[in-house]
Structure 1
Amino acid sequence: MTTSEPGLEDGSVSEFLFDFDAFEQMDRAGLFQRAMGRVQLIEGRLLEMAPTSSDHGDTSGEALFALKSAAVRAGVTADFRFLVHATLKIGEHSAPEPDLTVVRAFTGRTYAEAADAVLVVEVSISTRDGDLKLKAPLYARAGIPEFWLIEPEQRRVTVFRAPQPNGTWASTTVHDDDDAVSPLFAPQISLSLSELF
């Protein structure tokens, strides 16, 4: 791989990138047990994310409860699975763990894959830069139709839609305070932001 990272241009340093199989083997061997946070595979790189705070976990739980409850009321839960902090396999070189992922129901596999995902949610308390610079482009390139960035401290949800192959989103909408948001996978659902934080 050619890289433009500072200090790597002259070829005196090599960068080794991992694939999903190597990542999974390292995890099974217990290599990540000492990590303070969750280790995620992002574009071949092993990244240790900050440990999940209580506030972060609470907001993730609130979002899960709100989405799943609304899906039950709408009668669409049989078609989807609601996953919290579960590995999402994106190609051969990425395996992030979104705070919440809604996927089409699947069987016969251990991990959900990008093609299964209809919505990815990241709760951003102290992780906004990483979520926007690393994960938003990754999810867009993977073709995941919708990404929500929940910022409970700002009482804001940014909804990204229409992913582009270059890692951008054609549609970005910011929802504040008393707004409501509806997911593409079930547009009949309307969630007030107060249900998410």
Structure 2
Amino acid sequence: MTVANAGFEERGDSEFLFDFDQFERMDQAGVFDGVQGHVELIEGKIIQMAPASTDHGEISGDIFYALKSASIAAGVEKLHRFIVHATLKIGKRSAPEPDVLVLKADEGGKYAQAEQAVLVVEVSISTRENDLTVKSRLYARGGVPEYWVVEPETRKLTIFREPRPDGTWTSTTVLEGEGSAVSPLFAPQISIPLTELF
């Protein structure tokens, strides 16, 4: 005869989903100290990300500089905040750390919120599949108006625009080639050559 605790059933494999408050408390308690790379909360799951290479860091910096410089030249930089590697809260169960984040300047807080974002950029060197699927759905459901996946090895930029609540996008454009340039939705008057992103 098998005896089980009242209220518990055998369910096989299951997973425990965390919310952002739990994730933050674990971080503050040092749970993630010593973890190589960094951790992200994605749809309630804590995901260990690989350490960023120097190429990844350099390209993230180049994208940040290209966006900010073009915005300064156009006189629109004071309308936005340009950030590298910051937590972006999306709902209660997700907190990715995009490589570059552009926010509305008039809103603050300890963590960036999805509704503040005007552009999210991921540099995709070893994370292409994840960036084009999991992250793409996550940012669309969060209502981020524009999402870029920069692939320096193939010199390609995928632009997602007009998010839908189901995690898809109305518009997806792929740019490649030396003569291509991109104009972000938050400042359509600026034009950034792809060569400045790679």
Distance in 1 of aligned mates of 2:197 and 2:107: 29
Residues 1:113 and 2:110 aligned together? no
Aligned residues: 188
Q: Percent identity?
A: 61
How does the TM-score come out when normalised to structure 2?
0.92
User: Which residue matches 2:155?
Assistant: 155
Q: 1:94 to 1:189 in 2, by over 3 A?
A: same
Distance in 2 of aligned mates of 1:34 and 1:132: 29
User: Which residue matches 1:41?
Assistant: 41
- 5 Å matches for 1:75-86? 75-86=75-86
**Is the radius of gyration larger for structure 1 or structure 2?**
2
- 5 Å matches for 1:90-169? 90-169=90-169
Q: 1:108 to 1:153 in 2, by over 3 A?
A: closer
SS in 2 for 1:35: coil
Unaligned runs of 5+ in 1: 1-9
- After superposition, the CA RMSD in angstroms is 1.1
Distance in 2 of aligned mates of 1:72 and 1:11: 57
Distance in 1 of aligned mates of 2:197 and 2:12: 49
User: Which residue matches 2:188?
Assistant: 187
SS in 2 for 1:174: strand
Q: Which runs of 4+ in 1 moved over 2 A?
A: none
TM-superposed deviation, 1:107: 4.7
TM-superposed deviation, 1:108: 4.9
Amino acid in the other structure paired with 1:184: L
Amino acid in the other structure paired with 1:36: Q
Distance in 1 of aligned mates of 2:126 and 2:110: 30
Distance in 1 of aligned mates of 2:33 and 2:67: 31
Unaligned runs of 5+ in 2: 1-9
